[in-house]
Amino acid sequence: MNARWSTRELERQINSLLFERLAFSRDKEGVRELAERGHDVQRTTDLVKDPYVLEFAGFPQHSRLLEKDLESALIDKLQQFLLELGKGFAFMARQQRVTLDGTHFYIDLVFYNRLTRSFVLIDLKVGALTHQDIGQMQMYVNYYQREITDESENPPIGIILCSDKSDAVVRYTLPEDNKQIFASRYKLYLPTEAELAAEIQKERQYIEMEKRISGDEES
């Protein structure tokens, strides 16, 4: 990788199978390029990992969290969180207020990615993802696109970080051509080798299922 990581950080990323997680977020042709050139961000999907490993936040493996506790821990460890997010991220805001017809809404974290030239909005959920969570992020993304994003910038990206999710809920809540909103799981401790292998197998099955669905729609 060409992210200028320290030896300690590089070891952490290797142990969390960063390469494998990135590889499964790209198309097959991109895997060879990933091996030769490192993580090259060309599309919005290249920014997103699943899962994110947040063990640097220091929470016990089975701790009971509040969303504000997770948010505070990530801000306290902002440098490590930026490394986990990936390349090109800059911190912009915390609890960004959006007021619509007198009602206040708050976006947990706002970043800007200089590689994609787009705002990245992050919402934290300590429980399972719901379609209401996705709808809320859609509202945030729409607001940023219409009110904040400049004409020279690309559309904003929304990432919902949750402890658990249903891929079916995500797939049927978002439009088929979605390129702006993503739901990713987070883990509060570095997974074991067996858990990582299971995650990779799950991602492989999900990608194969998506390809079958796309093939059926095209035919």
**What's the CATH number where 54 sits?**
3.40.1350.10
Tell me if 86 is assigned to some domain: yes
Q: Which domain holds residue 126?
A: 7-218
Identity of the residue numbered 52? Y
Q: Are the beta carbons of 104 and 120 closer than 8 angstroms? A: no
Tell me if 1 is assigned to some domain: no
Burial tier of 88 (Cβ tally within 10 Å: 0-12, 13-18, 19+): middle
* Sequential DSSP letters for 106-175: EEEEEEEETTTTEEEEEEEEEEE--HHHHHHHHHHHHHIIIII--TTSPPPEEEEEEEE--HHHHHHHS-
Q: Are the beta carbons of 87 and 115 closer than 8 angstroms? A: yes
pTM value is 0.68
Tell me if 2 is assigned to some domain: no
The Cα 116–Cα 94 span in angstroms is 21
pLDDT in tens, the chain (219 residues): 455 555 665 666 655 555 555 555 554 454 445 444 544 555 667 777 777 878 788 777 666 778 898 999 899 989 888 888 888 899 999 999 999 999 999 999 999 999 889 999 999 998 889 999 999 999 999 999 999 999 999 999 999 999 888 888 888 899 888 889 999 888 777 666 676 677 667 767 766 777 777 666 665
- Looking at the DSSP bridge assignments, the partners of residue 105 are 98
Instruction: Please count the structural domains in the chain.
Output: 1
